[in-house]
Structure 1
């Protein structure tokens, strides 16, 4: 008996489906690994990283080390994102407030970018003004979302 031959389009579709399934399995494995942050929350880990970067920027400003501030600001502007599974949990929890959360994140990004640009120009006054804007942005987000996040996600896998 001869092996069955499939039309070229069927083979293409089967190959694409198989590739997507393998990619999906690999992605879920990566997400599962990334979501296992030491404290159980990738978002919490990201916030801690950003806190350390803010301390580095504060130190750089105090010492007028504009190169350090310029190097660190992009890490704040383009901070890591939680893995897809955690991002979906967060967005599900936020519901109608997801847009406000995204706006806070966008303001933080803009302020951090302005901070980096001012540091590259070695403009101390603009660095301080941008850093103040960045701090206000972080504070506004934390005041609105930190406690509800902690109460909702504390202890959840």
Structure 2
């Protein structure tokens, strides 16, 4: 499946609602990741591996959530934190694989890595987004 098409299929999952308080920090981070993911999909669709590498590097090196957000997430997910971390690891490794493929000029491998990255994002959002968003919306 073409990367840009995959992104548009996942867009409803990636969309982030308007939020306040502690959730605003996570929302802003996810909005930035969504924009970078969209740009990454465009770059791969165009076969622009230099731009794809830059976008993948931005995704891999994205800002981390602060202590207040992490405290709420950990308290909310409890024993599910291992699964949450697994999704994070999967997307991070896929981003790193995409960077390496882009450096080598290997578009098919970069596209496959993008699919893995998007699947990791979608899986995490499906499993945890509603629960975490609700908990953060109640946080001060």
TM-score (norm 2): 0.79
Where does residue 42 of structure 1 map in the other structure?
Answer: 25
Q: Which has the higher contact order (CA 8 A, sep 6+)?
A: 2
Within 2, Cα distance between the matches of 1:42 and 1:155? 14
Q: RMSD between aligned alpha carbons?
A: 1.5
Provide structure 2 residue ranges, at least 5 long, that are not aligned to the other structure. 1-18
Indicate whether 1:55 and 2:38 are aligned. yes
For residues 17-96 of structure 1, the aligned pairs below 5 Å read 39-40=20-21, 41-96=24-79
Indicate whether 1:142 and 2:140 are aligned. no
Deviations 1:119-143 (A, max 9, x none): 1111111011110111111111111
Within 2, Cα distance between the matches of 1:44 and 1:91? 17
Deviations 1:4-43 (A, max 9, x none): xxxxxxxxxxxxxxxxxxxxxxxxxxxxxxxxxx843211
Aligned residues: 120
For residues 1-20 of structure 1, the aligned pairs below 5 Å read none
Within 1, Cα distance between the matches of 2:92 and 2:61? 7
Q: Which segments of structure 1 move beyond 6 Å, counting only runs of 4 or more? A: none
Provide structure 1 residue ranges, at least 5 long, that are not aligned to the other structure. 1-37
